[in-house]
Amino acid sequence: MSAAPCDLTHRAERLTRLYILALSAVACLSILGQALVQWSLQRQLSDSTVVNLAGRQRMLSQRLTKAALAAEVAGSQEQRAARRQEMAEVLTQWRAADAGLRRGDDRLGLPGRNSPAVVLALARIEPHFRDVATATESLLAGTGDRQAALQRLLEHEPQFLTAMDAIVNQYEDEARQRVAWLQNIERGLLLLTLAILACEGVLIFRPAVRRLRESAAALEESRRQLEVAKLEAESASDAKSRFLATISHELRNPLQAILASVELATPTAAGDQQREHFATISSAAKSLLVLLNDLLDLARIEAGQLAIVTAPLDPIGLTRRLVALVRPQALARGLSLEDCRPDRLPAGLASDEIRLQQVLLNLLTNALKFTPAGTVRVRLLDLPAASGAARLRWEVSDTGIGIAADQLQRIFDPFTQVAEPVWRKGGAGLGLAICKRLVALMSGEMGAESRLGAGSTFWFEIPLAKSPAGETGDPPAAYPQRSLHPLRVLVVDDDPVNRKLLAQLVTALGHQAVAACGGEVALLSFSESPFDAAILDWQMPDMNGGELARRIRALDRMLQRERTLLIALSAALEPSSDRATDFDGWLSKPVGQEQLSAVLRLAKKPADHRPDNANRWTPVLDRLGGRHDLLAALARTYCQGLPALLGELRAAAAQHRMADVARLAHLLAGQGSNFDAPALVSAARSLEEAALTNVLTPAVVGGLETKCQRLSAELDLWLAEPSLPD
């Protein structure tokens, strides 16, 4: 790969040199052509002057003869003197012209460079010139025989004229020859220039065009290869996601069986030793579950599928709860656990509480794990905020084993552990890598300071936004804590072991469980008799949980039944699909009795428990002065207008009209507050914040829609009370 760029560079340099050489040759030929043209013009001018002067010499000799004859026949002395004066002037000019023709004259523009033929012709004319000049001088002097001098002049003058005609013709022939030679030179220069240009085209431009085409083809091939590589990478990423979903499902199913079996068997254990064995199995299974969750979190972060959900947050309360959560573990290890936090923070803060809890809890458990003795300290600091509502810093310090300086930066790399004692503590080295990436997703930063044998300090800083409408950060419970009542629950799972164990967990909670092995069997059971709740496995071969939920909702509407509580059972932390909006809640495998009990509290009570439903509205009626009619009017207005409002919300979300989404979410929050529905209000405000910050997801919209429909069902149930005044 490295030789190709070098070869292209060499070729480019060679073509550049050839191009410069060709341009230089063309420029030189052009200069030479211009010089020849100037020389030709100068020579033509000189030839013209010579030819004109030679013709003038002939004319002067004729004037000289004519003046001599006129002087001889002049009648008066004055006329004779005038003719003689003319003869003297013509003779002077004649001699000057002859000297110029022979030797050159700058004043007359005569070069004096005669060809051998002209020099020979001038030599031949010399005797005639001398005889004419001598005869003329004799006539001018008036001495000697005037008639003899005139006779000699008349004899030599025709011979002189004939010789001058020959000289003029010779000059003209030589001028024509020079013009022809110059024309040949010019043709040669033109042909040479054309040849150079042709060579330039053949040797330079054609290879350059070919190289350009080859480069364009190479670039196109590179682009195609990059596109193929991109598609392969995307395919590999999709394959990895599918593999993780599949392996998650396959791993969580046996974990579900192990944990559920242990949970069901522990109360019936015969003795302490058996209970200890059950505890060991449960601990090992939970460790596997933690590792599985870490792997899935890391994969979701790398794939960009893990979203940060901003919601109202109480940082002090969060820190206090997590410290209380790990305090028993610290006491059991004989460690001191200190909690240092400010008395107050700015009101109305917002962030992702779940992810903050995940990061802080990981740092706390690591500090406790690697501190054999001493103190673990948690500090919450309020830092100056460059932007946003606040910037907070959490620090977790310990007096544990510490980390060497050369290994400190490696601890944030995935699958990295840096010291031998750490290996013996277990773990896959994913926790800190996930924490650092979660903090980065929340626009924060994370770091560590440590010395080997002198403890460590792990810290992270994040900016916090302002929560909408000035909400407090008191977190709502995961599910409404209503008193449990016997329910008829349908359990749908294609795995027979999980199906059986989940049904046993439902029965152990005092409910009636009906098991179904797939979607078609579940729909048949629903068509025969209603259920208060249904737990649907998300991933099944014949019909997945999302499709089954959609068809159950259609059956509820067709048979005019109350809305069935639908719970998604997923191997992931939560279902990631638009169809998840048909569910009222979800459970992540493996499921324990505590989680199952909490989610089943969402189910409506059977008809014989309707007085409790009436008690649900007592605080609302108290605000309305006990006016059932006013509450009924508000309820009917809400229930009648909800479908259109939710339809408008879905359309606005699908078209990414964030301003409309925020407006509708704010409207639904106000409606929810009228009916004392804190979960609906919280979901609506979360959606409003998501729309305002342009981080909207289908799950946020679906969550609000579910809570709105749940409130509508509760109001419908209350409106159907026989004792309700008209």
Instruction: Give the distance from CA 527 to its chain's centroid.
Output: 52
Q: Which residue has the tokens 């990478």?
A: 233
Is 60 exceeded by the pLDDT of residue 470? no
Top-confidence range, 179-188, 224-233, 239-248, 479-488: 224-233
**pLDDT tens-place string over residues 167-194:** 777 777 777 777 787 778 778 777 877 7
pLDDT per position as a tens digit, 549-601? 888 888 887 777 778 888 888 765 455 544 556 788 777 777 777 778 777 87
One-letter amino acid for residue 53 of the chain? L
Backbone angles phi, psi at 464, to 5 degrees: -115, 140
Say if residues 477 and 682 touch (Cβ distance below 8 Å). Answer: no
Which tens digits make up the pLDDT trace of 37-95? 666 666 656 666 666 767 777 777 777 777 777 777 776 778 778 877 877 887 787 77
Regarding predicted confidence, which is higher, 176 or 36? 176
Q: Is residue 478 pLDDT above 50, yes or no?
A: no
Q: What's the pLDDT at 294?
A: 64
Confidence of residue 249 (pLDDT cuts 50, 70, 90): low
For residue 662, the model assigns a pLDDT of 87
Q: Where are the domains of the chain?
A: 14-218, 230-301, 315-470, 488-605, 613-719
Nearest CA among 620, 613, 648 for reference residue 634: 620
pLDDT per residue as tens digits for the range 598-638: 778 777 554 443 444 556 777 787 777 777 888 888 888 88
Under CATH, what is the fold of the domain 488-605?
Rossmann fold (3.40.50)
SS3 537: strand
The fraction of the chain above a pLDDT of 90, given in percent, is 3
Distances (CA, A) of 624 to 674, 716, 721: 10, 19, 19
SS (H, E, C) 498-512: HHHHHHHHHHHCCCE
Give exposure, 491-524, as e/b (b: 16+ Cβ within 10 Å).
bbbbbeebbbbbbbbbebbebebbbbbbbeebbe
CA atoms within 13 A on the CB side of 472: 7
pLDDT tens per residue, range 302-355:
666 666 777 788 888 888 888 887 888 888 888 888 888 887 888 778 888 878
Q: What is the pLDDT of residue 423?
A: 38
DSSP 675: T
Q: What whole-number distance in Å separates Cα of residue 217 and Cα of residue 221? A: 6
The residue type of 499 is: R
Cα separation of 318 and 620, whole Å?
Answer: 30
Element (H, E) at 392: strand 390-398
Helices (runs of H) and strands (runs of E) counted in the chain: 20, 12
Phi/psi at 570 (5° precision): -125, 145
Cα–Cα distance measured from residue 586 to residue 339, given in angstroms and rounded to the nearest whole number: 34
* Overall fold of domain 315-470: Heat Shock Protein 90 (3.30.565)
Q: Which has the closest alpha carbon to 487: 580, 587, 567?
A: 567
pLDDT for 46: 62
Residue 570: closest CA among 594, 546, 548: 546
pLDDT of 394 reads: 92
Cα 501 off chain centre by: 49
Structure-derived torsion over alpha carbons of residues 494, 495, 498, 500, reported in degrees to the nearest 10? 80
For residue range 513-553, list pLDDT tens digits in order: 888 888 888 888 887 778 889 998 888 888 888 888 888 88
Average pLDDT over residues 147-155: 77
pLDDT of 477 strictly over 50: no
**Residues in contact with 451: Cβ distance below 8 Å, sequence separation at least 6, in sequence order:** 402, 403, 405
Compute the mean pLDDT over every residue in the chain, rounded to the nearest whole number: 76
pLDDT of residue 706: 82
Mean pLDDT for the stretch of residues 679-688: 83
Q: Report the 10 Å Cβ neighbour count for 145.
A: 10
Q: Which tokens is 283 given?
A: 């601990």
Q: Is the predicted pLDDT of residue 260 greater than 80, yes or no? A: no
> pTM for this structure?
0.43
CA–CA distances in Å: residue 443 to residues 108, 463, 498? 96, 7, 40
Overall CATH class of domain 14-218: mainly alpha
Averaged pLDDT, 8-12 = 65
Half-sphere exposure of 485 (CA within 13 A, CB side): 14
Q: At what angle do helices 146-200 and 3-72 cross, to 10 degrees?
A: 170
**Side-chain half-sphere of 25: how many Cα atoms within 13 Å?**
18
Contact status, residue 504 vs residue 264, Cβ threshold 8 Å: yes
Cα dihedral value 306, 311, 317, 318, nearest 10 = 0
Check residue 304 and give its pLDDT: 64
CATH 1.20.120 fits domain 613-719 = yes
Contact present, 358 and 445 (Cβ < 8 Å): no
Residue 118 CB coordination number (10 Å): 19
Torsion of the alpha carbons at 205, 209, 211 and 213, rounded to the nearest 10: 180
According to the model, what pLDDT value does residue 490 have? 92
